[in-house]
Amino acid sequence: MKNTIIIYRKQLKDTGKNMALWIQFVMFPVMAAIMENSIRVEGMPEHFFVGMFTVMHVGMAPLTVSAAIISEEKEKNTLRMLRFANVKPLEYLCGTGGFVFTACMAGGVAFGFLGGYMGEKLLLFCLIMAAGILASMLFGAAIGVWSRTQIAATAVVTPMMMVFAFLPMLAMFNQTIEKIADIAYSQHIQLLLNSLNAGTPAEAKNVIVIAANVMIAAVLFGIAYRRRGLM
Amino acid sequence: MAIKTAIDIRRVTQYFGEQKVLADITLSVEKGEIIGLLGPSGAGKTTLIKIMTGQLVPSAGSVMLDGHDMAEAKQEMYRNIGMMMDDLGFYERLSGYDNLKIFAGFYDVPEARVREVLEQVGLYRYRKSPVQKFSKGMKNRLALSRAVLHRPAFLFLDEPTAGLDPATTLQIHKMIGQMQKDGVTIFLTTHNMVEAEKLCKHVALLHDGSIVEYGEPQAINRKYNYRNRLKIHLYSGEDIELELQNAKEAAKTVFEYLQSGQIETIHSAEPDLESVFLELTGRSLQEGRQDAEEDWSFGKAD
């Protein structure tokens, strides 16, 4: 536990000095806040921008950041030094994963307040966010572990995050894309948020698809870890 | 008092695919000794260090550190090992102090020790600067301070002074010497024969994965002193080497120079480790070094 906390603190400090990563956490909440307060179009659903940017935040930030952190540590051989300090892979993953999760959830809570969610609704909103962030983070960690360099990780992460982040929005305009999006966790995060906003019960399918995505991401992470290892 | 074996390398062989990079290496290092592994680039030095520190499991043979087999007991042994590899592995956006503080936390070392080691390497006044702004020499000193932070019993140094200026090299040599006095067993790889002769009790010359010579540096030099030469430096700047096989002839020449008052200095011209290595292998210790240094200097921060 001690080592996990040290890794968490290290990551907090390091990310604070890494503009490229730091911006991932704040970009979408800030954009949502600005647009919510500056753009008013008649007929536009209430908190339209919050809904749109929430899914982008879930699809992009955890994926990009976890892949970037792990691949950078591999590339710069800092993981090897951690190993010599007797840091176990699980401690490292918990510390780094814990940081990415809480930092992304902080953005999630900001979205919750921007969207006017309160009480039980805010709690449900955060749960939906947490499920999406977990799936995204696991996919990112799998890519980070698999990649030997940051450039290699970015080459995989960029198209993947574009798909997960923008698919739900594009699915609104095209039925074929909607069918494809039906297997992506981000689409079902969007659908769950729509249900929450409308006050209608969530469909079991939404939860099943998200859970399946989490499991696939976990399996991919397991394969990457066994084949390439952390150090 | 019985001398304790600290590092025991027994018949270590390593293959990468079909390629044999280490062949039947056997070495024994006493507690508190500095041993140097000399060889040109690609000789297998780093591979051997990786095996000794449990980063690689050898294809055959074993490495025992303080009686523990590194292929099995590496996790428990890491507490006793300090490492300085060629790729230093720092969190470059963080300060030198923060980097060491992280590791002090892992090792349960009090924070006061961070200040102590930074002062030892002369980096305390730069403690708040991010590591990415450090020069190559400062990074090496920081790496050395991290390696000794937890007062390890074993120190593995992979080319600790490669590419450094003479002043920094001297500072690192002093630190290594001090650690040896403190009883640390030090295993260092180097291309630098002067460094090896100055620091090491024993050296092993590694060529194509095999140890071609082992012993005390001076003893090795004497062993290969076949030609028994004398080197005379004249006031005119001219250097003259005399072969002493024909002692009468040589003595006559020296006497003539002495009589004419031309001699500034006279030295015995024993071979050094570089020339011994060249004689044994037909290769220079510096081989492959120049290219590597040129590659490195392209991006160096100095």
CA distance B16 to B103: 32
3 state DSSP class of B198: helix
Q: Which of A34, A32, A35, A28 is nearest to A133 (CA)?
A: A28
Structure ipTM over 0.85, yes or no: no
The total number of residues shown for chain A amounts to: 231
Top pLDDT among A116 and A40 is at: A116
Chain B from 129 to 148: CB within 8 A of any A CB: 130, 146
CB–CB contact A14 B88 (8 Å): no
Show residues of chain B in contact with A69, CB under 8 Å: none
| Helix (H) and strand (E) counts in chain B | 11, 13
CA distance A144 to B120: 37
| Distance between B87 CA and the closest CA of chain A, angstroms | 7
CA distance B253 to B270: 19
Phi, psi of B236 (to 5 degrees): -70, -10
C-alpha angle B152-B153-B158 in degrees, rounded to nearest 5: 75
CB-based contact, B19 to chain A, within 8 Å: no
CA distance A144 to A94: 15
Is residue A28 within 8 A of residue A57, CB to CB? The reply is yes
What pLDDT is recorded for position B295? 41
Q: What is the distance, to the nearest Å, from the Cα of residue B56 to the centroid of all Cα atoms in its chain?
A: 20
C-alpha angle B14-B45-B38 in degrees, rounded to nearest 5: 135
3 state DSSP class of A53: helix
Pairing of strands B68-69, B263-268: unpaired
The neighbouring-strand residues paired with A72 are none
| Distance between B245 CA and the closest CA of chain A, angstroms | 55
pLDDT of A214 > 50? The answer is yes
CA distance B11 to B126: 45
- pTM of the full predicted structure? 0.78
pLDDT of A133 > 90? The answer is yes
pLDDT of A118 > 90? The answer is no
The neighbouring-strand residues paired with B27 are B9
Adjacency order of strands within the sheet including B60-65: B19-30, B5-16, B60-65, B68-69
CA distance A67 to A142: 7
CB–CB contact B91 A6 (8 Å): no
CA distance A92 to B115: 26
Q: Give the model's confidence band at A1: pLDDT under 50 very low, under 70 low, under 90 confident, else very high.
A: confident
Mean pLDDT of A29-54: 82
Q: Look-up: residue for tokens 């044999």?
A: B20
State percent of chain B over pLDDT 70: 91
What pLDDT is recorded for position B302? 33
